[in-house]
Amino acid sequence: MKETGIDLLQIHLMEPTTVITNLITGGLCLYFFKKLTQQPVQFSLGSNWKFFFLYMGIASIIGAFTHGFKSYFGNDDYYYIWLFMNLSGIPCSYFLLQANIELSKLTDNLKQILKKLSIVLTAALTLLVIGLNDFLLIKINAGFVILLTLYNHLKRYNEGHQGSGFILAGFLVSTLSILVHTTQFSLSDWFNFKDISHVIMSISLYIIFLGVMLKMKVHELSIKKAT
C-alpha cells in the first residue's frame, strides 16, 4: 500500500487521514475525561474510567504526531518517539484493569492485593516494552484486559446492572478495529486499515462512555436515596 502525504503551509504531513482520525479519537477521549471529571460524585470505579479515557486520548494524540511527522525524524529519533507512543498505551490498560477489579464482587482485602499485583505487572510490562519496543506486547496486554472486561460486564449485564450493557457493546465493537488492523482491510490508500480502525474505535469509546455515565448516575442516585 502506498504511503500518503500532503504539503500544508510548507509542512509535509504524512498519512493525513490517519492523523485526522487519531486526533478525532483523542479529542473525544479528552472530552469524555472532562465530562467524567465534572460529575458531582467521584468514586473509585468512576475515577478509573476517567483516567482510562485521559490516557487513551493522550496515546491517540501522540499517535497522530508520530504518523504525521515521521518524515522529519531520523531512525534514532523515530525509534524513541515510537517507544513513547507504545508506552503511552500502557496506562489505558492499567486503569481498565483497575476498573475491573473494582467492579468485581471480591472482598476488599483481595481487591487490594490484586490492585497491588496489577501495579507490579504493569511495571514489568513497561520495562519489557522499553527493552524490546514491541507493539505486540501492548496488543497482548490490551487483549487480555479487554477479554476480562467483556467477561465482567457480561456477568453484570445478566445481573441487571445498568450501564454494563453499553460497556459490553462498546468493547465488542472495539474488537472489530483489532480485526481490521490485523487483516489490514482498506478502502483505499487514503482511507486505509489504520483510519477505519480509528473510526471504529471512536464509535466504541463513545458507547463505552455512555455506559460509564449511566453507572455514575445510578451510583449518584443510590447515594441520594441512602441519605
Q: Write down the pTM of the prediction.
A: 0.89
| Residue range(s) defining the domain that contains residue 180 | 5-226
Report the candidate in 107, 112, 110, 97 with the shortest Cα–Cα distance to residue 49: 97
Instruction: Look at the chain and report how many structural domains it folds into.
Output: 1
The pLDDT value given to residue 217: 83
Please write the tens of the pLDDT for every residue from 130-139: 888 777 788 7
Mean pLDDT by 10 residues, the chain (227 residues): 83 93 97 87 72 94 89 80 82 91 84 90 90 80 89 92 94 90 90 95 97 84 66
Residue 69, C-alpha cell as written in the block:
511527522
Please write the tens of the pLDDT for every residue from 78-137: 788 878 877 888 999 999 999 888 888 788 888 889 889 999 999 998 998 888 877 778
Angle at alpha carbon of residue 173, lines to 34 and 176, rounded to 5°: 120
Percent of the chain with pLDDT over 70: 94
